[in-house]
Structure 1
């Protein structure tokens, strides 16, 4: 279910299936029919469990500071389908979406693809129509069989690997790593974050087979904390960049920043872009992302921690930013996530939880979440809008977390579209 995508499908009579169908045959055929737009793009490709969106945003911001025109394709949406496809930080407009749908309709793509495959084709067409210099592409699920995995990128990035989407990707770290490693391409470097040893072994094996160089966090490059901000060092090329001051909070964002800087240099080298250290510093400082420890009202934070790995990072950020403060959680999560483990983790920093229902057919009911919680103070909350406004007025630190779909709903009700 992609909000507002259906209106374009209906308007242009382009049908697609609303289910997940891993594999590349259908999208490869469809892209060939529309002129293979993906082959004319300079691409950065990301796959991984967490950290893709933040790493993407850091890269985009640095590229923007160097005068490059950047397109990005992300999932899931924050508000609706338009924000999944952006150029120059601007969501695709209704007129631009109409343009690509007309192209797809005339090409006869109706009935050939799933929703996400159709959206992927739309993204590639829009990037070509918009003449972007670089397209940053985030895999929707996995990597190997994901519809985005039709590109030959300048560089691939895998920020993290943890158990997720086990119905499709397998129930071991090794099997999930196998899918993520699928984005590694022949003779193209791959940048990796702090991965579990069993995942790292899979990545290195695949990279060896593809004759791809592996650039690993805390091996070839790393981040140090100094009194004047953070410092990036890359031992491979002797680079050292000081005074890095980021808005995106949490110790994990330092890692994502390091991956992004490393990727930026790969792009700059490939495209012969003169590098400005000031441009890198400015890009890091300006990078922001919706739904990543974002304060939408005074004392009200939204963060899309929806699995155990991202919950751990949220906990670390809370401890760093609000040491000793009382925290209240408002939670809504999709039922196919490891809800109990996420709740048990968040209970390390709070004993006050409010559970809410939100508009998604895959959402776990507030009542069922309540039953999984071990919190001392817990209840189902029917009117979270009024509650959050009162919490803000009363200066009560409150974190809304779980599904990005919930965050979209909260944002729309409290502050409207961005």
Structure 2
């Protein structure tokens, strides 16, 4: 798709030499020039964490909308199109509106240095400030403390499970990363906390105590389990018996628990069933059912997942064990900033073979040969392929009844969704 916003987005990519530069000065400057739209947006639920942010946000949104509320939502990165990042009053932002907002932010910025994420976040705030809604769901881009979204005073915060990721920017220990994520905590504002490593939880609890921010922690203040095909949620207000999440995997039960705890805190549980059954979040154990890649796979079933760190690898392995047995072939492409072997190790007992690809058009792709080498270190037989389509053809020729999982990166997932139409 080549449209007006794409032209502006390409220009915005040139406004700062670094893709990621975690300070808030540039955001505050531009928001001031725009007359502070962040102060006029509907009440905010601010979500940080390493894994599960998008799925948890999707379930909260489904629950709020089923309760009759109008919801803005901001997430990143996008998969196939940038528009996916900004949802205004329940609908993806219109192309013409996005182009105008981006141009307005570009003009107000006056050529000053600012990162792509910072200026597009400001555009989202403008959109949200100019359209009526009941709630705004904001997903942190990276970290929390110095993330461009961390300029608002939320009604509620959510911290999903924290694990090792983005060490170059957030620190090389769980404690350091947790300190950055806990930067979204605000004085007096309640926070829903998902399952955490004890070291991460200690950091969150310490910062919350200093800010007098009430915590609602899984395992302490609320509990969630899967039982007899149902999701059982319990807190001091009582027990809820709900459908299992539509999203696949044991980790989605924990994500669902965070979503229900958030709806409880907002006193909006009328849509709790819909939070489970209606939430949709692409490239998270997504079964691809139509399209040219599905046609090319023949009798094989085709799945897509964008997880990319060791914790995501564990969650993915658990989700795969719940499916009817088939020979598992992975098609994997990763960024060179990720722990490829750590991601693949949990998948090693399940995978027959890994077909490594480079991510098309991505400067930071891990070369296919390096991905294959990482797979072998993890204990998975591996070879390289020229493309996802090439790998599918190879698998179909040798294992026509395979389960094919395309995995390793949201950037690869985006390419696959575009290629598959």
Fold shared, TM-score > 0.5 on shorter chain: yes
Unaligned ranges ≥5, structure 2: 295-300
Unaligned ranges ≥5, structure 1: none
In structure 2, the residue matched to 1:180 is 181
In structure 2, the residue matched to 1:167 is 168
Structure 2 counterpart SS, 1:400: strand
Structure 2 counterpart SS, 1:373: helix
State the alpha-carbon separation in 2 of the partners of residues 190 and 241 from structure 1.
20
- Within-5 A mapping of 1:73-112: 73-112=74-113
In structure 2, the residue matched to 1:335 is 336
Structure 2 counterpart SS, 1:130: coil
CA shift for structure 1 position 165: 1.2
CA shift for structure 1 position 70: 1.1
1:315 aligns with 2:317: yes
In structure 2, the residue matched to 1:305 is 307
- 1:112-145 deviation per Cα after TM superposition (whole angstroms, max 9, x unaligned): 4211100110111111122222111111111001
State the alpha-carbon separation in 2 of the partners of residues 288 and 106 from structure 1.
35
Say if 1:366 and 1:380, in contact at 8 Å, map to a contact too: yes
State the alpha-carbon separation in 2 of the partners of residues 13 and 160 from structure 1.
31
Deviates more, 1:303-312 or 1:369-378: 369-378
Structure 2 counterpart SS, 1:147: coil
In structure 2, the residue matched to 1:216 is 217
Structure 1 counterpart SS, 2:179: helix
- 1:241-290 deviation per Cα after TM superposition (whole angstroms, max 9, x unaligned): 2132321011110010010111122233xxxx6x42xx211232111210
Say if 1:352 and 1:377, in contact at 8 Å, map to a contact too: yes
CA shift for structure 1 position 388: 2.9
- Within-5 A mapping of 1:44-193: 44-193=45-194
In structure 2, the residue matched to 1:283 is 275
State the alpha-carbon separation in 1 of the partners of residues 161 and 351 from structure 2.
26
Question: Residue 399 of structure 1: which of 395, 405, 408 is its match?
Answer: 405
RMSD: 2.3
Q: Label 1:4 to 1:259 Cα distance change in 2 as closer, same or farther (>3 A).
A: farther
Say if 2:329 and 2:395, in contact at 8 Å, map to a contact too: no
In structure 1, the residue matched to 2:205 is 204
In structure 2, the residue matched to 1:30 is 30
State the alpha-carbon separation in 2 of the partners of residues 404 and 108 from structure 1.
29
Q: How many residues align?
A: 403
In structure 1, the residue matched to 2:259 is 260
Deviates more, 1:190-199 or 1:54-63: 190-199
CA shift for structure 1 position 168: 1.3
Say if 1:158 and 1:191, in contact at 8 Å, map to a contact too: yes
Structure 2 counterpart SS, 1:146: coil
Structure 1 counterpart SS, 2:219: coil
